[in-house]
Amino acid sequence: MSKTKLILIRILFLGLLIATFALIFHFSSQIAEESDGVSKGLLTKLINVFPYTKHLSVETKLKLVEHGNPIIRKLAHFSIYAAVGVWIMAFMSTFQIRLYKKWFASMAVGVAYAALDEYHQSFVAGRGPQLMDVGIDSLGVLTGIFVVLIVISIYRALKGDKENNQRERVHTL
């Protein structure tokens, strides 16, 4: 791969990581009522389109929203930090360093940002830091890292099979 292409790939992954960090900061800056309204609004939309729940009574839908809101909020934490894990590990994978160093650096950056994000929330009205959220965020980062490692492994295996098949064709000629 050319140096220019490698630099562009690094810029892409770093840009995606910074954009995701900015999105997290935006969500964490929302006051409690606004943040709660966003997650409840999303859950309400899901309930209104999902075939098994869209025909339920309004009262039942409201109960689903109230009981499901904490789950949606934790899934949002996990999901956005899984994206963080993907972007960090993809960026780190463009460097020729040992895998354990890539993994450690990716986890360290992801967990540090999660902790700083929770600290940031302590300054937002109605919000506060929660250690459980840092744990959920960290699991999201770890999951994102594993996704990248799996994709890289599959890519290398397919690339290796393709190279082996080409070598076999040359030897049979």
Domain boundaries defined on the chain? 3-40+75-172
Report the alpha-carbon angle 79-81-82, nearest 5: 60
At 2-49, the pLDDT tens digits run 999 999 999 999 999 999 999 999 999 999 999 999 999 999 999 999
d(CA 134, CA 146): 18
Spatial neighbors of 142 by CB under 8 A, at least 6 apart, are: 85, 107
Geometric angle at alpha carbon 105, from 123 and 84, rounded to 5°: 55
For the chain, give the mean pLDDT: 93
Question: pTM value?
Answer: 0.88
Structural tokens at position 41: 């609004």
pLDDT at 173 > cutoff 70: no
Query: How far is 87 from 22, CA to CA, in rounded Å?
Result: 14
Q: What is the pLDDT of residues 51-80, one digit of tens each?
A: 999 999 999 999 999 999 999 999 999 999
pLDDT at 84 over 90: yes
